[in-house]
Chains A and B, each alone.
Chain A
């Protein structure tokens, strides 16, 4: 984890910081982490990114657009086309929900509130998924509720190469405490939106697990609106699928809220796993922490992380940090890692970012081997330890165990 392979485009304290007081300037100077500031680049602000419910507003991407430049768009034609879910010979994907009685409400048509409150499509994939989902699943965790078991939404792809659309709306009532697991298995060309509304004082953890078969493709926009004093945690775990691109976005609807966006991915030969996160600090006194960790092995394993943080002018007292770390296990892999931090006010608690992509560290290996541990065991110890930082934040023991096993299988595969 030493040598940096790819780090691009850090935007820190853009020269456009206007009208801040000396106090604010001091704060920024003291707290902003400048270690990865590679200069301001020509790029439009994240704030200007188009969002719309209108399919016509998002032409098919060519791959040159900022938001698509790392993605294999040619392999995504089916997912980006404006088409309904394929029902022939079987529905391309189906889902089941495990939740306490009364939590699942009547489905929501496009435009039926609260659908559209937290999620407005931000790219072609999300807009066609939205437009082609007439009935959005609507799950409401009542105010004050503390369900004993995690809620589960199990999406299962039944037909590789066949198109599936989904839009889920999840509401966590005021002061509720809950965990929701969104799990993907099987194979399909699945285009899935998740819209999350976190009520005042609520604590919600959403864990999106991608355990697809090798021939699955998956595009996703997960947007959350986090209420006053609420705590939202989103954990993306991507292990399976040939192409997965998951965008996890957060905005606040009240002060004092916290958001934590976490991710873990393990890409094998030929796999493209892309994660984008966007924290829009549009309110004062909110906190955010972003941490994505990935391992890569095998020819043409490709991972992408793009982490946008925007601290708006009114977001005084913001405390934000984002970090991405990648561990490259073999030759022939590529990890792109791009933190973008835009700060429009100096009156913040702190803002920092870090990104590192490194090879397996030979000194770590030497130390472990010098204690008699064989090389393959030593490698596994280190990779497991590296990824475990995310797994241990899941806090659902059965799921932690399953994912630990899944990571072990990925590692075992590398020794063949």
Chain B
């Protein structure tokens, strides 16, 4: 069993207006086998948390720690984190021109496992995983994410999740922009990854819709760079009905505006 532990994390970014603190003391502990949902208004810092875990150079950790089974994640480079078993399904997956999906998947798998996958079984595995996620076979010939629709990009993120078999997966709004069928297909993919091995999941979402398919044990409410409430799945339903207004009092007017946006978006 593995544990991903985030303790009192403070993160800031450099903007044209100067340094801006986005995460203001986040603590979270996830163990393999668990699913945690994070819900919160736009701009509250959910993607910042996800990107910081993955090691995006934009985000500066000013204090706090992230450890994976006691190992200091913050001391690892981006690729080391991935090889240590962390996976981020991005809110906006990046298009990488000139690099084919086949080449990319094989190179990444080789890096993560420390050895090249057996060609025959690998090709079969990729094909099977793609079929289950209803991704066309010709996607392997296309360049990474290039020209993929929003929903296709999300499916390809989950394809990687299934193929790379991480210890912890952070899914940043993987459900946004998916049609009803795709939502089901993608959720099944996540559940397969869960069932198969030892994986813990941090699911960032705005909608309870996906929670019909992926059942979190824990729900964390994220407002203005902090976890303001924690509970079980019932908390998600309550949020859906009441929005984030009741957290806004302490957090100020900006958060109320952001909460409105979340309801519309």
Contact = CB atoms under 8 A, between A and B. Distances in A.
Interface of A: 1, 362-364, 366-375, 377-378, 381-382, 384-389
B104 A371 contact: yes
23 contacts: A1-B97, A362-B57, A364-B96, A366-B57, A367-B94, A370-B78, A370-B82, A371-B82, A371-B164, A372-B79, A372-B82, A372-B111, A373-B79, A373-B108, A378-B79, A381-B99, A382-B96, A382-B98, A385-B96, A385-B97, A385-B100, A386-B97, A387-B98
Interface in B82-140: 82-83, 88, 90, 93-94, 96-100, 103-104, 107-108, 111-112
B98 A388 contact: yes
A363 B51 CA distance: 12
Interface of B: 54-57, 77-79, 81-83, 88, 90, 93-94, 96-100, 103-104, 107-108, 111-112, 143-144, 160, 164
Given A371-B104, A372-B112, A372-B164, A366 B98 contact: no
B79 A386 contact: no
Nearest to B114: A372
A385 B164 contact: no
A254 B107 CA distance: 49
Nearest to A373: B111
Contacts, number: 76
> What 4 A-B pairs are tightest by C-beta distance, nearest first?
A385-B98, A372-B82, A371-B108, A369-B78
A262 to B, nearest CB: 15
B117 to A, nearest CB: 13
A11 B54 CA distance: 45
Contacts of B90: 367, 370
Given A368-B104, A385-B97, 17 more contacts: A1-B97, A364-B96, A367-B93, A367-B96, A368-B96, A370-B79, A370-B88, A371-B104, A371-B108, A371-B164, A372-B108, A373-B82, A374-B111, A381-B96, A384-B98, A385-B143, A389-B98
A189 B103 CA distance: 41
B69 to A, nearest CB: 18
A373 B96 CA distance: 14
Nearest to A327: B98
Among B54, B97, B98, B160: residue with most chain A CB under 10 A: B98
Contact of B107 (A362, A375, A381, A387): A381
A362 B36 CA distance: 30
A354 B82 CA distance: 37
